[in-house]
Chains A and B, each alone.
Chain A
Amino acid sequence: AQTVTQSQPEMSVQEAETVTLSCTYDTSESDYYLFWYKQPPSRQMILVIRQEAYKQQNATENRFSVNFQKAAKSFSLKISDSQLGDAAMYFCAYRKTSGSRLTFGEGTQLTVNP
């Protein structure tokens, strides 16, 4: 069974600084997707970024980028120029390409300090 692990329950960053959230996963599949979702307090989950395992190039979305290390089964999220609105719970998630269900990590609570 696939598992996703986020080893940082909480992280904090100063506004305008950069922060990296860690995620590791375990799978025997070779073709899959990885996602980072953001869940602000009392608000719905929003997709931040998506990475396809067959692509070697790391995905980027504006201030958000990932470091995808397939051999190490590592998928970290870097947030540059952090903003107060980035404060949220961040979840790493996995889905095999042929599959349906998302498997989520435990989440990392990010605090952005002004």
Chain B
Amino acid sequence: DTGVSQDPRHKITKRGQNVTFRCDPISEHNRLYWYRQTLGQGPEFLTYFQNEAQLEKSRLLSDRFSAERPKGSFSTLEIQRTEQGDSAMYLCASSLRRDRGTDTQYFGPGTRLTVL
């Protein structure tokens, strides 16, 4: 069973450019999550999907951020008009939610974004 994968692992971009990250969850996992982690801090929740439906978005997810999971499998996170404050590690996690919320989230290696 392969784990969660993310691409690219590193991204350097100039302020104002758009970037897109991809996450491939563990196969058969119906939930997919995005978190952001800045240096020396714990991850902060951004959004999550159950299958293809985006069910919750954090206030951290400004209008410049958009996430999709078109077929309920992989997901993309796009940041438009990047700002230096967007520099962070973007983590993806997936889980299999059945009943009683017993699922555990498994994390990918992350995409480190640096905005110059």
Contact = CB atoms under 8 A, between A and B. Distances in A.
Contacts of B107: 37, 44-46
Interface in B40-68: 40-45, 48, 55-56, 58
- Per DSSP, are chain B's interface residues mostly helix, strand or loop, or mixed? loop
B101 A105 contact: no
B100 interface: yes
Contacts, number: 55
For the side of the interface on B, what is the size category?
20 to 34
Interface string B8-45: 00000000000000000000000101010000111111
A50 B33 contact: no
Nearest to A33: B101
Interface residues of A, number: 26
B101 A97 contact: yes
A99 B42 contact: no
B18 to A, nearest CB: 26
A100 B104 contact: no
Interface string A86-114: 00000101011111111111110000000
A100 B31 contact: yes
A104 to B, nearest CB: 3
A95 B109 CA distance: 21
Contact of B106 (A43, A47, A99, A100): A47
21 contacts: A33-B101, A37-B107, A44-B4, A44-B110, A45-B91, A45-B107, A91-B43, A95-B101, A97-B101, A98-B101, A99-B101, A100-B33, A101-B33, A101-B45, A102-B105, A104-B43, A105-B42, A106-B40, A106-B42, A107-B41, A107-B42
Interface of A: 4, 33, 35, 37, 43-47, 50, 52, 91, 93, 95-107
Interface of B: 3-4, 31, 33, 35, 40-45, 48, 55-56, 58, 91, 100-102, 104-110
